[in-house]
Structure 1
């Protein structure tokens, strides 16, 4: 899902050479293009037992948690990962692990009885449908004023995003992580993250000729006619596999509309990269369908962790207590922030500082569509993996991903997810009366994002004589301003934590995910989350272990 500007992997490095030439990626290269089940073939079946003691407990299996688990294991530390979602290693009755975007079923949403698609209208008609309640892959978590989309399962957000793997432009980095040395990030940790994630770029010649990117070529033409820079954006999809999909020699995945609820073949999610390598060390085990509810100090400098085991209806089947020497919070920006705010407010970790819960942002996400003329068809066949965008960050504070609309029919529509320089930040707080954590985001705070996105699309519409689509997010509603794919912040680096993610009041507790990043990365965030985790865990291993 959405991604943005940045410095793509240079085309002087071929995508084959970039992947195959990286020694640390041998395991991932071997797994590229295989089904997600491959990662777990030798993973332990038994979940963590009550009463267990572990050296390192990692809460969550997304980007930050996967980095921590791999590097700790390589340093000789035994790691147990606790994941609220499912393992996603077993096919359903249709023989596929993940369901299709166009036909969401019980696998699609986390404990909902009706789908809540980001684009939930078409031609002005609602398209959400009833589904059985199940621990599905996409969580549409609703707060006041905003819906936050998050991946649920072993692999976290890597399961449900579009894989656009973007390194921020260096000149923008100081606004992203002001306390971090950019030299070490751009010389060491961004390259390391890109190599481990298996990042590559579409072949421009193939892009120019294939039917499945006609929609993106229309986006390029309109951008360039309005004098906006058009850029190719790196991705973790296996581009060789996609070319084979187009040739009809392999099972279709990106060309079958698979993206929002998982991708069955070509995408290199964390299951194929960091988590596969972590598993291969023999020191990492994972308990899916386990949710951490408490972390509290125990004797000997350890921590008592309370964990609920869930079934696929979301019911708690067992409550377990385990002990950990060190705990890494990697439940995602929302999950980590909510847990820390609750633990501080309810007295489990009362000495967490007052910055916990603050600095949360939506990465400036806003969506829109444009109605093209009949001479600009966008194609019935559209790859679900975006690969390019329109860059107006320096002049207008916006970058627009040219996004797919893989309906399977010709729509004559151009669709975009913009990342904008929205300055608004929200705070998580404990609601004692309701016994829950609230977020004080306000719907009106999206207006700066709309204003910044309009710097691109008003100009394109004027040049092309086109109009905004008003049938994609409701009835006569232009902007998808109700959501984010990119939650960031809530436990900001060098504020809620020290400059390496340590929760300093509690030695042995760490934050290592997107909660550390204060609300905006100027680009799709997962490469920055990964690189920052690489930086932090290297320091933690060197000094704390």
Structure 2
């Protein structure tokens, strides 16, 4: 049986240095909220030699959609998740550690934090932590760091919850083979309803001190002629109002986001996964890392390593499934498929597997405002607004918080840009690993597109860029992405609904299907596409 692994230790004391370390939290375009008692996803452990009708690898947006809809259609489903269940409070009474004081719960198998914004006043603010199967993975490739959620709920644990449906006029450039009328008439509305998407109350936004930073961002954007727009989110806005009133524990208003949100965020544990579990047909095995999928007659044999919370392998299991859905995220799915093709486990996968990977054009920057444009020492960690210059300059910028607990007079932004570069995953046989050929220099188009917004704002306001947030005199955060997309692109590595070519019964149902860019934060599009694809698969493959 699987060991209980949801327990975290006590957090370190609150320090300004630790608080600053967590300020990159606002950039994840999203954290896991405290699971309500009725919505908790209990840990299960699949037995060696078991057979299941459907096995889903991963519990993020695509995997959660597949599990719910298959279960509702009467099909038993088992999900394997590499991360923890995140449903048991630690000795400090919290499931997740505070962003201000990251401890062993913060990072996936690291001994030192690697926060997205890890410098302040030009000095590194990362800290040592105990190696643990924490909630945020900072996976390093040759030219980029990819931030990913680790745990039941996947990326919903570590993003800012900005639930953005792309502008319809941009959709043909996102998924050209998909019918836009169906997506905007059926699947985007379905995804938004199931995810619990809602928007901030504009009157409260204008009054609360916790969004002063965003109001400054609005003023600067509008004075330079840019379109400022409110962005929906999956946070419970009524809960946030109660946080401000002091009637409930603070969560977003206590800067909880990067390493988990203990209260107000509607993660997948509260939405799709809760409803999937309620069917009685869904089980989840956390701390199981899939290493192989091979044909076994009309079935597939799936091998997984069971981990302890230090990352050690405690058991190796092989189970069989009639159908397997790859939902380990863009990176996880792509790496696994590339390995399986290269090592001969799934030799009929085509050469498109591993191709078409992009970073959603992510790039970050900060601006140094004048003292009369204070952004506030109190800031909500949940972003709710953006600057839209996509049509003219190829950039959409989140107006992001910088919740360090002191006044910084700084405006901070995560931009999504129309970066054309795409990378490829490949198998390095000598090293025994999958590699990504992304080059840091490929971020230059993103920087140029973001500059179409911020150069103009700086010129209008008489301000400059901050140079102390990403290194020593470094303006741009061009070293990372929060939004990995592609690697098993729809209608290339798969057919038009995610069926992998060459191996019937294998499917991709996550962000790996989307070729590198969604023009906005991607999880609503991933969810809506999964809704579209699973509806077709159930109707045609599982009758």
TM over 0.5: yes
Query: In the alignment, which residue of structure 2 is the partner of 1:530?
Result: 527
Query: In the alignment, which residue of structure 2 is the partner of 1:376?
Result: 373
C-alpha distance in structure 2 between counterparts of 1:2 and 1:427, whole Å: 25
C-alpha distance in structure 1 between counterparts of 2:457 and 2:110, whole Å: 38
C-alpha distance in structure 1 between counterparts of 2:115 and 2:443, whole Å: 19
C-alpha distance in structure 2 between counterparts of 1:118 and 1:94, whole Å: 26
C-alpha distance in structure 2 between counterparts of 1:102 and 1:166, whole Å: 27
1:315 maps to which of 312, 316, 320: 312
C-alpha distance in structure 1 between counterparts of 2:252 and 2:435, whole Å: 36
Deviation by residue 1:238-281 (Cα, 9 ceiling, x = unmatched): 00000111111110000000010010000000000000000000
1:131 maps to which of 129, 135, 152: 129
Pairs aligned (count): 515
Measured after TM superposition, the shift of residue 40 of structure 1 is 5.4
Query: In the alignment, which residue of structure 2 is the partner of 1:38?
Result: 37
Residues 455/46 of structure 1: CA separation in 2 closer, same or farther (3 Å cut): closer
> SS at 2:172's partner residue?
helix
Query: In the alignment, which residue of structure 2 is the partner of 1:262?
Result: 260
Residues 437/123 of structure 1: CA separation in 2 closer, same or farther (3 Å cut): same
Query: In the alignment, which residue of structure 2 is the partner of 1:246?
Result: 244
- Are 2:36 and 2:270, in contact at CA under 8 Å, matched by a contact in 1? no
- Are 2:28 and 2:482, in contact at CA under 8 Å, matched by a contact in 1? no
After superposition, residues 121-270 of structure 1 pair within 5 angstroms as 121-270=119-268
C-alpha distance in structure 2 between counterparts of 1:326 and 1:203, whole Å: 44
Matched, 1:340 2:337: yes
Measured after TM superposition, the shift of residue 100 of structure 1 is 1.3
Point out 4+ residue stretches in structure 1 off by more than 4 angstroms.
1-4
Residues 268/286 of structure 1: CA separation in 2 closer, same or farther (3 Å cut): same
C-alpha distance in structure 1 between counterparts of 2:538 and 2:235, whole Å: 31
C-alpha distance in structure 2 between counterparts of 1:39 and 1:279, whole Å: 10
1:508 maps to which of 480, 505, 509: 505
Measured after TM superposition, the shift of residue 72 of structure 1 is 0.2
Matched, 1:421 2:421: no
Query: In the alignment, which residue of structure 1 is the partner of 2:71?
Result: 73
| Structure 1: segments with no counterpart, 5+ residues | 5-32
- Are 1:400 and 1:416, in contact at CA under 8 Å, matched by a contact in 2? yes
After superposition, residues 443-462 of structure 1 pair within 5 angstroms as 443-462=440-459
> SS at 2:304's partner residue?
strand
C-alpha distance in structure 1 between counterparts of 2:499 and 2:278, whole Å: 27
> SS at 2:52's partner residue?
strand
C-alpha distance in structure 2 between counterparts of 1:135 and 1:45, whole Å: 15
Query: In the alignment, which residue of structure 1 is the partner of 2:490?
Result: 493
> SS at 2:516's partner residue?
coil
Matched, 1:349 2:353: no
When the two chains are superposed, the root-mean-square deviation of aligned CA atoms in Å is 1.1
Query: In the alignment, which residue of structure 2 is the partner of 1:480?
Result: 477
C-alpha distance in structure 2 between counterparts of 1:474 and 1:94, whole Å: 33
Residues 302/424 of structure 1: CA separation in 2 closer, same or farther (3 Å cut): same
Measured after TM superposition, the shift of residue 412 of structure 1 is 0.5
Measured after TM superposition, the shift of residue 38 of structure 1 is 3.0
Query: In the alignment, which residue of structure 2 is the partner of 1:88?
Result: 86
C-alpha distance in structure 2 between counterparts of 1:527 and 1:437, whole Å: 28
C-alpha distance in structure 1 between counterparts of 2:295 and 2:56, whole Å: 16
- Are 2:33 and 2:261, in contact at CA under 8 Å, matched by a contact in 1? no
> SS at 2:210's partner residue?
helix
C-alpha distance in structure 1 between counterparts of 2:485 and 2:43, whole Å: 32
C-alpha distance in structure 2 between counterparts of 1:510 and 1:87, whole Å: 24
- Are 1:80 and 1:286, in contact at CA under 8 Å, matched by a contact in 2? yes
C-alpha distance in structure 2 between counterparts of 1:439 and 1:504, whole Å: 22
- Are 1:3 and 1:523, in contact at CA under 8 Å, matched by a contact in 2? no
C-alpha distance in structure 2 between counterparts of 1:326 and 1:130, whole Å: 42
2:280 maps to which of 273, 282, 288: 282
Matched, 1:393 2:378: no
- Are 2:118 and 2:469, in contact at CA under 8 Å, matched by a contact in 1? yes
- Are 2:341 and 2:349, in contact at CA under 8 Å, matched by a contact in 1? yes
1:306 maps to which of 285, 294, 303: 303
> SS at 1:445's partner residue?
helix
- Are 1:39 and 1:275, in contact at CA under 8 Å, matched by a contact in 2? no
Measured after TM superposition, the shift of residue 93 of structure 1 is 1.7
> SS at 1:72's partner residue?
helix
1:470 maps to which of 467, 470, 473: 467
- Are 1:493 and 1:517, in contact at CA under 8 Å, matched by a contact in 2? yes
> SS at 1:36's partner residue?
coil
Query: In the alignment, which residue of structure 2 is the partner of 1:273?
Result: 271
Measured after TM superposition, the shift of residue 504 of structure 1 is 2.7
C-alpha distance in structure 2 between counterparts of 1:2 and 1:257, whole Å: 12
Query: In the alignment, which residue of structure 2 is the partner of 1:434?
Result: 431
Query: In the alignment, which residue of structure 1 is the partner of 2:515?
Result: 518
- Are 1:290 and 1:309, in contact at CA under 8 Å, matched by a contact in 2? yes
| Structure 2: segments with no counterpart, 5+ residues | 1-25
Measured after TM superposition, the shift of residue 39 of structure 1 is 5.7
C-alpha distance in structure 1 between counterparts of 2:100 and 2:409, whole Å: 18
Deviation by residue 1:217-240 (Cα, 9 ceiling, x = unmatched): 000000011010000000000000
Measured after TM superposition, the shift of residue 46 of structure 1 is 3.7
Matched, 1:544 2:541: yes
> SS at 2:442's partner residue?
helix
> SS at 1:390's partner residue?
strand
C-alpha distance in structure 2 between counterparts of 1:39 and 1:334, whole Å: 32
